[in-house]
Amino acid sequence: MLTDLQINKLERFFYVLDYDRNGIINIEDFIGIAENLCILWGIKEGDAKYDQVKSKFEEGWNHFNLFVNNNDGKANWDHWLHFAEQVIVNGDEAVFSTYVDEFVGEIFDNFDTDNDGYINLDEYIDLLVGYRIEVRFAAKSFRKLDRNHDDLISRGELISAVKEFFRSNDPDAPGNWLFGRAVLSN
């Protein structure tokens, strides 16, 4: 059974992905995120880079949809919560690790724009802006995720944060800050 903290974190992630805030996650949400990032990065529609960014997010949708195992191309809150409880929070460790690895890989593919193998603060802010997440707590959340305090988030640090975000019931876990501000219990 999920705790209040876990439900709050799963709800937060659902609404991060539900770009148009209509209560359903589908491919249009992922395309909306891609278009938002193209605006942020100054990439114009019709440019090859625009199509490349959009294609990456369409691929992200395909991965998400496979994991949710939803054949109708939509995930509502109930469907997401059931999937998340069964597969992400309480599921098989190997399946969860695959999900985390793919999720972290997509973040690095999309936001490590200088290709140095790390997410710096500017790239982290781009992630928040791209997903329309309030950036007010960006610096604080970045510091929480940067466990070795080198002003960079490594792949390992992000994997730890994602695992904590989805599975930890510790209200003080740094991973609770993954999406810009701490997610707490009611």
Contact assessment for residue 4 and residue 183, using Cβ atoms and an 8 Å cutoff: no
**Which band of pLDDT confidence, cut at 50, 70 and 90, is reported for residue 29?**
very high
**pLDDT at position 103, please?**
86
- Per-residue model confidence as pLDDT tens digits over 111-155: 999 999 999 999 999 999 988 899 999 999 999 999 999 999 999
Q: Helix, strand or coil for residue 3?
A: coil
Partnered with residue 74 across adjacent β-strands are 26
**pTM for the predicted model, two decimal places:** 0.85
Tokens coding 33: 């995120």
Residue 176 DSSP label: G
Q: What domains appear along the chain, each with residue ranges and CATH number?
A: 4-136 (1.10.238.10)
Q: Does 68 have pLDDT greater than 80? A: no
Average pLDDT, integer, range 96-124: 92
CA distances from 80 to 14, 52, 92, 96, 128 (A): 7, 28, 17, 15, 21
Q: State whether the Cα torsion 28-34-40-44 is positive or negative.
A: negative
